[in-house]
Chain A
Amino acid sequence: MNRKTRITGTLFIGTTAFSAFLIIAVIIILLVVIVIGGKDTFSWKFLTSFPQDGMMKGGIFPAIYGTALLVLIMSVAAVPFGTITAIYLTEYASEKSILAQTIRFAVRTLATVPSIIFGLFGLGFFIKFVGGEMDSVFLGGQLKWGQPNILWASLTMALLTLPVVIVSVEEAIRAVPREMREASLALGATKWETIRRIVIPGSRSGIMTGTILAISRGAGEVAPILFTGAAYYLASLPTSLSDQFMNLGYHIYIMATQSANVDQTLPIQFATTLVLLMLTFMLNLTAVIIRSRLRRKAK
């Protein structure tokens, strides 16, 4: 090996190591800045109390509550729907059929649509069309469902997280060994009985992973709920599906842009960011653990 190739080699290794280091550094800086900025404000009281003095002080409880409620309703909509779609794609549709390919294409496309587009779709479809029609048919035009609320925001978010659920569940269904399906069919079970008694129970951890990943995504996204239900400030917690709600991500956004004194609320912004980061980080970690267990079991 001559000198020139040796130098090129060393340079190349150096470049790759530097890129890898850069990524770690970004994460570390991000975490350090957020923890230092938020640690003094972060407390049990911060998590459990309402904002005070025009959101210049106090806690973020309504935002945590609203986020939790949002992802709960979203999961109730997205998980069964996504699971059923995944079952259709893996068990019933033939790989080459036009319908299956169209669905797969739609799922992939849905996963790449910018989240603000989902927000606009939710506004146009759920609020103006579905909600507006509900009001004119059932309430004689009185405005109740034709405005932003937690139901429409959750359903919009469900559309955004649907591909995550479908892909996770599909992967889990494929990991159920063929031998087990054959054993069930050879005992005289129908295809549906085999799916219900063998395939779905065998994919439970995949459905769990999909749910957690969807929740973690849904907890962090702001754009889809911007026009569909998130509120700037509410003095009380939402009690009905037609109520608006506060949300962690949206709270950070308005504190950083709309607050009367942005600099004074900086500690609250940092602490809220810290809460949101911890939440999504923990959810992702749980999903990773469940998924690695699932992969080990499939081997």
Chain B
Amino acid sequence: MKEAKIKIRDLTLFYGEKMALNSINIEIPGNEVTAFIGPSGCGKSTFLRSLNRMNDLIPNVRIKGEVLVDSLNIYEKQIDVVNLRKKIGMVFQKSNPFTKSIFENVAYGPRINGIRDRKKLNEIVETSLKKAFIWEEVKDRLHDSAMGLSGGQQQRMCIARALAVNPEIILMDEPASALDPISTAKIEELIFELKKNYTIVIVTHNMQQAARVSDLTAFFYLGELIEYGKTKKIFTSPDKKQTEDYITGRFG
């Protein structure tokens, strides 16, 4: 296994009185794709969102334990959440373009980072869209509204938008669950390409997808991490019976 990019130690999360994650320990390696699988409500999305502190936005959430990114605990008091989120990009389940042009969507991150130079912005927008495999489809209408793109195109543009701030880690929360098979295939191809330069953590409902795109798989159930290991092993000879039952479709 490559060196761990993210180390999570004893992470426990409460929504009010309800425990949503129970003492999770896991190490996520750099430049690989790690998939989180499990039935709805098992805590996998909640866990993903605690890796860039998006759960901070929800009232009544309490978190214990450590999340070390490059050996720095992101829940330390002196951590700047804004900088943290620049380092850890996120792609959401439902594509969420801003009601702005394609160009302005992708340039949003660089702009809030203070980049004003038009030439530099053009360059960033172009490379980001190319990295997300959507440049050819949109290069002639960069200044049209992003709302006019198809669902799959919107999602790839959202990935380009995340790439534009130059993150090291990309968190994807069921990025293809609302897309048709062709768009899904494009996103998966894209994930495969991106792992050369980024550490990717993906939450998915689709087990075939996890098997296709990931190097490592973690199975969550009722807020607990049941099993974690090489994807090949999890899908062919899991150690735990619960994992096997879920993967073979006996529950969930």
Contacts and interface: CB of A to CB of B under 8 A. Distances in A.
A95 to B, nearest CB: 9
A187 B161 contact: yes
A198 B105 CA distance: 11
Interface of A: 94, 177, 179-180, 182-190, 193, 197-198, 201-202
A185 B57 CA distance: 10
Contacts of A179: 92, 94, 96
B52 to A, nearest CB: 7
Contacts of B82: 188-190
- Main secondary structure on A side of the interface with B: helix
28 contacts: A179-B92, A180-B96, A180-B99, A182-B92, A182-B96, A183-B92, A183-B96, A183-B161, A184-B98, A185-B54, A186-B52, A186-B85, A186-B89, A187-B89, A187-B109, A187-B112, A187-B161, A187-B165, A188-B83, A188-B86, A189-B108, A189-B112, A190-B82, A193-B112, A197-B108, A197-B112, A198-B98, A202-B99
Given A180-B96, A182-B96, A187 B162 contact: yes
Interface string B76-95: 00000011011001101010
B158 interface: yes
A275 B173 CA distance: 58
Contacts of B57: 182, 185
A179 B173 CA distance: 13
Closest 8 CB pairs of A and B: A188-B86, A179-B96, A186-B90, A187-B109, A183-B96, A188-B85, A189-B112, A193-B112
B237 interface: no
Contacts of B161: 183, 187
Contacts of A198: 98
Contacts of A201: 99
B54 A187 contact: no
Nearest to A183: B96
Given A187-B89, A190-B112, 6 more contacts: A177-B96, A179-B96, A184-B108, A186-B52, A187-B161, A197-B112
Contacts of B99: 180, 201-202
A201 B99 CA distance: 9
Contacts of A187: 85-86, 89, 108-109, 112, 161-162, 165
Contacts of B109: 187-189
Contact of A186 (B83, B94, B113, B162): B162
B251 to A, nearest CB: 31
Interface in B190-244: none
Given A182-B57, A197-B112, A188 B165 contact: yes
A208 to B, nearest CB: 16
Which has the most chain B C-beta neighbours within 10 Å: A177, A179, A189?
A: A189
Interface string B103-115: 0000011001100
B100 to A, nearest CB: 8
Contacts of B85: 185-188
Contacts of A185: 54, 57, 85
